[in-house]
Amino acid sequence: MKKILMIIAPENFRDEEYFHTRESLEKKGVEVSVASTKIKAVSGIDKTVIDTDLLIDEATDDYDGIVFVGGSGAKIYFNNEKALNLIRTFYEGGKIVAAICIAPVILGYAGILHDKKVTSWEGAREDLLGFGADYTGKDVCVDGKLITARGPQSSYKFGKKVAKAL
């Protein structure tokens, strides 16, 4: 069974990006573990409380891929060294690295987007270009083991693409 580590913000992550992506992964038989900076995370719109499986500080690369969920709270990971190091470790290990909405900016801070085709929430376009990425604007963009998506409307498709890449 393939395993994915989903990283969510401790608050204000996008409900659909978490729930729909997770549903798509689990329907394809992928085991999902969820990490955050707190054991209980609160979603953005619906204020749903999620019990996470582990703290991000406890996370390892013992997964087949890593997925960052978007929403305004995801900005907490822009300068989180543990998150950035995890991204680099997964990427350098040839594993799936995925992000949706604003979360591809986190990948930029990790330094892995130069000359890579990516997409995101339109508001993050300039940031991604600043990291040397080739912004496509597609719903979901796959560049090797790097998978990015625009936002909530892309969540199911995003999860399916991640599952297929595994």
Residues 8-66: tens digit of each pLDDT: 999 999 999 999 999 999 999 999 999 999 999 888 778 889 999 999 999 999 999 99
CB 149, CB 139: distance < 8 Å = yes
Q: Is the dihedral of CA 39, 44, 124, 65 positive or negative?
A: positive
Model confidence pLDDT, tens digit, residues 127-162: 999 999 999 999 999 999 999 999 999 999 999 999
pLDDT at 45: 77
The CATH T-level fold of domain 3-165 is Rossmann fold (3.40.50)
Per-residue CA distances from 113 to 39, 44, 49, 74 (Å)? 30, 27, 32, 18
What pTM was computed for the model? Answer: 0.97
